[in-house]
């Protein structure tokens, strides 16, 4: 019971959040956070547990988003059906890819995922008749209020984390980690490594696709550069995983929170701090910084990753004992 106390309290807080906080700005950030929990958890399963690093999560995210968008665009069926369909479409993209590319190991597989990302992005841009090309897809959002989206996102975040937590503590989880640690040894223990890598990829692709469908429903607009974006989706997914801690169940949640916060800090120019400083000091330098800082979030991500890898190579959750000792040394001693 005590083991489940922290997650349950956290869940209660998250469930109560939109009732307490009425500001749509913060609700929006929380929806993004929950969406990234889903994507981060999925990335963590294939990369963190199974050791098959994916640089192309956007391929699955975009497939899910387009599945929902095209459903509404061509067939006038509610994009909410895409929530289920998007996951399966992403699996349909992932399985043939995995079947071919899981013959490669390590960095070579990672490069193949990068290629998949670009193939999907260009395909979506080129197939104008079907996808609308670079014009993108616009659908009417179902709800004006953000609250329904919030609870859908929360439900998906909980479901993805619970399913992955269940899997990693069962037979497939042991097999995934064995493959990560040594694929040849895993084979000698009777593990069909090709099959289990495909299984891990399918589960990860499913949840990433579902997150993409949620994005379509929530934002109401997608185009190839947004949902198949290398740095805003694929790299962000990696950062969420690394910052939170690869191979930990709760790492992606912490990582998602940190990364969405950092992204927003840059996007908003540190909540208007630089704009304010510019006005206050009247210095042209500070004003110039204020203008460019909003576009510098990728630079910020880069610096953050370097710091995290140097100081906390196992991420915030993986290195939690280290952080606790550094900040609360007296408490642990007592």
Partner 1 sequence: MAFFRADELVKYFGGLAAVNGVSFQVEKGEILGLIGPNGSGKTTTFNMISGYHRPTSGRVIFKGQEIHRMPTHKICRLGIGRTFQVVKPLGRMSVLDNVIAAAYSRVNSHAEAQDLALETIRFCGMTPVKDQLAKSLPIAGRKRLEIARAMATKPELLLLDETAAGLNPTELTEAIDLIKKIRDNGTTIVIIEHIMHVIMTISDRIHAINFGQTIAEGTPQEVAQNKAVIEAYLGTEYA
Where on the chain is the footprint of partner 1 (CB under 8 A)? 169-171, 174-175, 177-178, 181-182, 184-193, 247
CA dihedral for 117, 120, 126, 128, sign (positive or negative): negative
Nearer residue to partner 1 within complex by CB, 128 or 182: 182
The answer to whether residues 65 and 86 touch, using CB atoms and an 8 Å cutoff, is yes
Residue 204: name the closest of 232, 176, 181, 185 by CA.
176
Helical packing angle, 82-101 and 106-126, nearest 10°: 130
Nearer residue to partner 1 within complex by CB, 29 or 198: 198
Q: Where are the beta strands (DSSP E) in 234-292?
A: none
Tokens (6 digits) for 37:
């929990």
Q: What is the 3-state secondary structure (H, E, C) of 226-261?
A: HHCCHHHHHHHHHHHHHHHCCCCCCHHHHHHHHHHH
Give me the least distance between CB of 159 and partner 1, in Å please: 22
Give me the least distance between CB of 52 and partner 1, in Å please: 16
Give me the least distance between CB of 169 and partner 1, in Å please: 7
Nearer residue to partner 1 within complex by CB, 106 or 155: 106
Nearer residue to partner 1 within complex by CB, 196 or 215: 196
Tokens (6 digits) for 295:
């576009």
Give me the least distance between CB of 186 and partner 1, in Å please: 8
Nearer residue to partner 1 within complex by CB, 128 or 181: 181
DSSP letter assigned to residue 81 = G
Tokens (6 digits) for 207:
């949840």
Neighbours of 275 (CB within 10 A): 19
Give me the least distance between CB of 50 and partner 1, in Å please: 13
């Amino acid at each position: 019971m005590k083991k489940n106390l922290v997650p349950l309290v956290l869940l209660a807080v998250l469930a109560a959040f939109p009732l307490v906080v009425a500001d749509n700005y913060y609700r929006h950030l929380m929806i993004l956070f929950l969406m990234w929990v889903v994507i981060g958890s999925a990335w963590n399963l294939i990369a963190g547990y199974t050791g098959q690093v994916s640089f192309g999560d956007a391929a699955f995210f975009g497939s899910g988003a387009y599945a929902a968008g095209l459903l509404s665009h061509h067939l006038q069926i509610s994009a909410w059906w895409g929530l289920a369909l998007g996951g399966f479409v992403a699996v349909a993209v992932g399985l043939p890819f995995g079947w071919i590319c899981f013959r490669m190991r390590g960095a070579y597989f990672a490069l193949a995922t990068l290629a998949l990302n670009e193939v999907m992005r260009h395909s979506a841009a080129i197939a104008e008749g079907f996808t609308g090309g670079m014009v993108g897809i616009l659908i009417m959002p179902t709800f004006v209020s953000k609250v329904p989206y919030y609870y859908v996102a929360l439900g998906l975040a909980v479901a993805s984390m619970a399913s992955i937590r269940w899997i990693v503590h069962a037979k497939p989880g042991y097999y995934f980690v064995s493959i990560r640690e040594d694929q040849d040894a895993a084979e000698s223990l009777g593990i069909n490594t090709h099959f289990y890598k495909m299984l891990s990829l399918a589960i990860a692709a499913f949840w990433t696709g579902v997150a993409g469908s949620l994005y379509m429903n929530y934002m109401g607009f997608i185009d190839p550069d947004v949902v198949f974006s290398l740095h805003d989706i694929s790299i962000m997914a990696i950062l969420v995983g690394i910052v939170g801690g690869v191979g930990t169940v709760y790492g992606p949640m912490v990582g998602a929170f940190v990364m969405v916060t950092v992204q927003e800090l840059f996007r908003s120019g540190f909540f208007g701090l630089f704009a304010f400083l510019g006005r206050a000091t009247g210095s042209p330098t500070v004003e110039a910084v204020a203008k460019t800082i909003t576009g510098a979030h990728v630079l910020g991500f880069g610096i953050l990753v370097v710091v995290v890898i140097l100081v906390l190579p196992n991420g915030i959750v993986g290195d939690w004992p280290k952080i606790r000792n550094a900040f609360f040394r007296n408490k642990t001693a007592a």
